[in-house]
A and B are shown apart, each in its own frame.
Chain A
Amino acid sequence: AQTVTQSQPEMSVQEAETVTLSCTYDTSESNYYLFWYKQPPSRQMILVIRQEAYKQQNATENRFSVNFQKAAKSFSLKISDSQLGDTAMYFCAFTNFGNEKLTFGTGTRLTIIP
């Protein structure tokens, strides 16, 4: 069974700083997807970024980038120039290739301080 571990229950940073959220996972599969989802107070799950395991290049989306270390089974999210609107719960998630059954971590509550 796949597992996803987020070891930082809470983090806070000053606005405009850079913050990195960590995530590790465990799987015996070689092809899979990894995701970071954001859940603001409105509770809607919003996809932040995704990574295909077969791609060596780290995914980036504007201020969001990942550091994907396949051998170490690590998938951290870096948020640059953090903004107040980034305040939310962030969930790391995993799914096997060809399957959208997501396994989520327990989340990191990120607070951006003005």
Chain B
Amino acid sequence: NAGVMQNPRHLVRRRGQEARLRCSPMKGHSHVYWYRQLPEEGLKFMVYLQKENIIDESGMPKERFSAEFPKEGPSILRIQQVVRGDSAAYFCASSPPRTTGELFFGEGSRLTVL
């Protein structure tokens, strides 16, 4: 049973470009979470999605950031017009429909903005 798969592992973008990060949850998991980790900091919640629905986006910046989890395919975190401050590790996590309180994390996608 494959774990949470994130790609790309590393992404380099120039200021003003778009970044797209993808996350495939574990098989059977219908809940996806995105977290951001700035250097030397803990993970900060961004958004919680279920299939075709955004449940909680209270941690997502109001501008330039968006997330989706379509009926088919991976969840996508999209950052438009990236700035240097967006440089961070972005972690995706998933959980099964019946909550146990536990999240299963991917290995993260490291975004570097030049």
Contact = CB atoms under 8 A, between A and B. Distances in A.
B101 A106 contact: no
Interface stretch (B20-28, B66-74, B75-83, B102-110): B102-110
Nearest to B58: A101
Contacts of A46: 105
A105 B31 contact: no
A96 to B, nearest CB: 9
B107 A44 contact: yes
B-side interface mostly: strand
A107 B89 CA distance: 15
A70 to B, nearest CB: 16
Name the interface size band of chain B: 20 to 34
B101 to A, nearest CB: 4
A68 interface: no
B107 A100 contact: no
Contacts of B44: 104
Given A42-B107, A91-B42, A106-B42, A47 B33 contact: no
B63 interface: no
Interface of B: 31, 33, 35, 41-45, 48, 56, 89, 91, 93, 95, 99, 101-103, 105-108, 110
Given A91-B42, A100-B99, A102-B103, 14 more contacts: A42-B107, A44-B105, A45-B108, A50-B101, A95-B101, A97-B101, A100-B102, A101-B33, A102-B33, A102-B35, A102-B45, A104-B42, A104-B43, A106-B41
* 10 residue pairs, one from A and one from B, having the closest CB atoms: A33-B101, A104-B42, A45-B105, A100-B95, A104-B43, A44-B107, A106-B42, A100-B103, A107-B42, A43-B108
Interface of A: 33, 35, 37, 42-47, 50, 52, 91, 95, 97-107
7 contacts: A35-B102, A42-B107, A43-B108, A99-B101, A101-B33, A104-B43, A107-B42
